[in-house]
Amino acid sequence: MGNQTKTVEERTRKESNFRQILHRLQKNKIAMTGLFTIIILIVVAIFAPILMPYDYTEMDMSNMYAKPSLSHFFGCDDLGRDIFSRLLYGARASLSMGIIATLLSTAIGVVIGSAVGYYGGWIDNVVMRVLDIVQAIPGMLLAIAISAALGSGFFNTIMALSIGGIPMTVRLLRGSILSIRNQEYIEAAEKINCSKPRVILKHILPNSIAPLIVSVTMGIGNTILTAASLSYIGLGIQPPMPEWGAMLSAGKTVITRYPHLCVFPGLCIMIVVLAFNMLGDGLRDALDPKLKN
């Protein structure tokens, strides 16, 4: 009932608010550069099989450690495989792991966070203390421990990456719910007999979504960085799958003679993470105009 009575006025106000945010974001050159880079990278990852000039497993012993040239843009690795093709294909692993793991941990965090934030009481206390313990282990180390226990592979790595991110989302959502749960419109919704799940879904979540969007964007960048570190030390995605961190790890042994094996995968990781951070910064400024002036 509460929603049917929503006036036209209210709707236009909401829309224009959204448009204002979008407008602020569009004016931010750094954020748009980040967004543009991310879109290009996603397109590259999707169409990698078509775009890559060689097959990423194709070995060519005559081109072992070939230096960058016109036929092999970024050179070849220890088995004569084209590094450019492997990087294009590797974008799939990094981007999908970063995005899926972040969305997974955010989804779990949102469910737990909104439940404990809204209901409060002893449940809230117990959950928060458990999360304190999870957070007492630095994220990278927790990912190493889980990843070592579960073994390598795509889905195991996603598990390892997402568990460490849950406490932060829970805290974020819980905090923003605590700050709005005593406001009049929540009280009004409760007074007209909205069910609790409805209050959470329709009234509380939309009002705490802004910080969540920023944390997801930044989180994807950080997760990609952690995933690359995991593959670098021998966990996570393993060869022969082309993964940027694993490529760095393979190139490390010959870095003194063939540095190009390491330069390009690292640049790719940096560009992806940088793009997500640029967009995240822009989103934060757009969603919180107070910080801008």
Partner 1 sequence: MGRYIIKRLLWMIPVVLGIAVLIFTIMYICPGDPAASILGIGATQVEIAAKRSELGLDQPYIVQLLKYLKQVFIDFDLGTSYFYGTPVIDGIFSRMKYTLIITFTCMGLQILIGTPLGIIAATHRNGIADRLCMLVALIGVSVPGFWLALMLVVLFSVNLGWLPAYGVGGIQYFIMPCIANCLAGIATQARQTRSSMLEVIRSDYITTARAKGMSERDILFKHALPNALIPIITIVGNGMGMMLGGAVVIENVFSIPGIGSYMTGAINSRDYPIVMGGVLVLGLLFSLIMLLVDIIYAFVDPRIKARYEGKRKGAKRHG
Sign (positive or negative) of CA dihedral 6, 9, 12, 13? negative
Q: Which stretch binds partner 1 (CB under 8 A): 43-51, 91-99, 127-135, 169-177?
A: 127-135
- 140 sits near partner 1 (criterion: CB under 8 A): yes
| Pick 140 or 180: Cβ nearer partner 1 | 140
Binds partner 1 by CB under 8 A, chosen from 42, 59, 99, 274: 274
User: Is 283 among the residues that bind partner 1 (CB under 8 A)?
Assistant: no
Residue selected from 1, 8, 61, 291 as contacting partner 1 according to rule CB under 8 A: 291
Q: Which of 234, 239, 240, 289 binds partner 1 (CB under 8 A)?
A: 234
Tell me: does residue 4 bind partner 1 (CB under 8 A): no
User: At closest approach, how far in Å is the CB of 161 from partner 1?
Assistant: 13
CB of 245 to partner 1, least distance (A): 8
Contact 172, 211 (CB under 8 A): yes
C-alpha 133: how far from its chain's center?
A: 23
Binding of partner 1 by 278 (CB under 8 A): yes
35 binds partner 1 (CB under 8 A): no
Is 287 among the residues that bind partner 1 (CB under 8 A)?
no
Q: Could you tell me the sign of the dihedral formed by the alpha carbons of 286, 289, 290, 291, in that order?
A: positive
d(CA 218, CA 288): 16
Tally the C-alpha atoms within 13 A of residue 93's C-alpha that lie toward its C-beta. 29
- Shortest distance in whole angstroms from residue 73 CB to partner 1: 19
Distance CA 235, CA 239 (A): 11
Torsion angles phi and psi, residue 82, rounded to 5: -70, 120
Closest CA to 168 of 99, 228, 216: 216
Q: Does 126 bind partner 1 (CB under 8 A)?
A: no
205 makes contact with partner 1 (CB under 8 A): no
How many binding residues for partner 1 (CB under 8 A)? 46
Q: Which of the 8 DSSP states describes residue 291?
A: G
State the Cα–Cα distance between residues 158 and 101, nearest whole angstrom.
5
Integer Cα distance of 149 and 160 in angstroms: 9
One residue of 235, 237, 241, 283 binding partner 1 per CB under 8 A? 235
What would the two tokens of residue 236 be? 């996570």
**If you search the block for the tokens 């004016």, which residue do you land on?**
27
**Does residue 206 interact with partner 1 by CB under 8 A?**
no
- Please tell me whether residue 25 binds partner 1 under the rule CB under 8 A: no
Structure tokens at 57: 């497993």
Contacts of residue 7, Cβ cutoff 8 Å, sequence gap at least 6:
none
Instruction: Supply the minimum distance, in Å, between the C-beta of residue 117 and partner 1.
Output: 18
Q: Does 11 bind partner 1 (CB under 8 A)?
A: no
Please provide the size of the chain in residues: 293
Q: Is 150 near partner 1 (CB under 8 A)?
A: yes
The binding site for partner 1 (CB under 8 A) comprises: 129-130, 132-134, 136-142, 144-146, 148-151, 221, 225, 228-229, 232-235, 245, 248, 252, 255-256, 259, 262-263, 265-266, 269-270, 273-274, 277-278, 281, 290-291
